[in-house]
A and B are shown apart, each in its own frame.
Chain A
Amino acid sequence: MSEMQVQLGNALLKALVDMKQTKKQLNIEDVGALFEQMASSLTNKESKADAFIRQEIEKIASHISHALTEIAAITPLDNEEGDEEDNIRNISFANAELAAVVKATEQATNNILDAADVIQEKVTGLTGDEALKQEIVDSTIKIYDACNFQDITGQRIGKVARTLDYLDTKISKLKRFIDESSVENNEVDEEFRDKRPDAKLMSGPQMPGSAPSQDEIDQLFANIK
């Protein structure tokens, strides 16, 4: 390790300690600024190793700046007063949507099973071609077999929901860690804005309870002059 590297390390450590004592806490953009400052302070007389270190420090500073901008572009996750378009990007909202998928498939599965029950019941009461009756019963058993999917999809979706919860927690912690005032909204680069194809689409299907019923829609429709 060259003398310059040692000096650089010591200077960095001292600057971090001083900053901690002065500001009581260190935030990530302070550290980034420190790296930038140190990179620019290196002279042209640096060795190849020092030049490499300087380049690496510049890269780290650039990554920190990039990350700050990206994090600032994330829509607030705990936006309770946001409109529905904001809520689309809320992870809690995504979890509620997944729960609704599970509920809807469960309902559909039960409807299918109800129909299979009726077929089984009706065919039992029929007289005539026994082979045909057995064929129908066998087919209803296949319906029951196939409806296993609902339990599996429910468990898989549950796993995805838990992953989203985990990400939600981590991102929220990261956002709290960063002083949001350091990156104003108008500084958010267009590059980082949500560009998903459906970002501006309607949010349907709406969640049960918050969605108007068909009767309410019909009434509304009738009242429009």
Chain B
Amino acid sequence: MAVDKNMPILIVDDYKTMLRIVRNLLKQLGFENVDEATDGGMALSKVKEKKYGLIISDWNMEPMSGFELLTRLRSEETTKALPFIMVTAESKTDNVIAAKKAGVNNYIVKPFNADTLKQKISAVLGEF
């Protein structure tokens, strides 16, 4: 099934510069319907208001981390299958395992490049 490039994507990171970088990389990949949140709490509010096709989230954020956002989403019937990619510098094995067990669809370690982002989105949503 072809990936709908108009689907809304939510990117979550407490570094505004990272939001900008991810947004631009997504734009280069053809995804322009992108919203931003600066922590898990703000992301949860946005998810309640809008149906997103993909969430790309950082792990380390205050007050609500990306991991907590993931577990909250997975505990709700309406969002338990929402595609979720974790983008983080947390590359410890235990963290990756924990995220996987919590239901993350893919995991990108910072720093990353456009090719990596494309590969991971393809792996989650299908080739585009």
Contacts and interface: CB of A to CB of B under 8 A. Distances in A.
Interface of A: 106, 109-110, 113, 116-117, 137, 141-142, 144-145, 147-152, 154-155
A106 B13 CA distance: 15
A106 B89 contact: no
Nearest to A112: B17
10 contacts: A106-B17, A113-B21, A142-B113, A144-B24, A145-B113, A148-B110, A151-B13, A151-B89, A152-B89, A154-B15
A34 to B, nearest CB: 47
B128 interface: no
A109 to B, nearest CB: 5
Contact of B114 (A113, A117, A141, A150): A141
A137 B18 contact: no
A106 B18 CA distance: 10
A151 B15 contact: yes
Contacts of B110: 148, 151-152
B25 interface: yes
Given A154-B15, A155-B60, A155-B89, A147 B21 contact: yes
A109 B17 contact: yes
Interface in B47-105: 60, 89
Nearest to B117: A145
Contacts of B60: 155
A225 B21 CA distance: 51
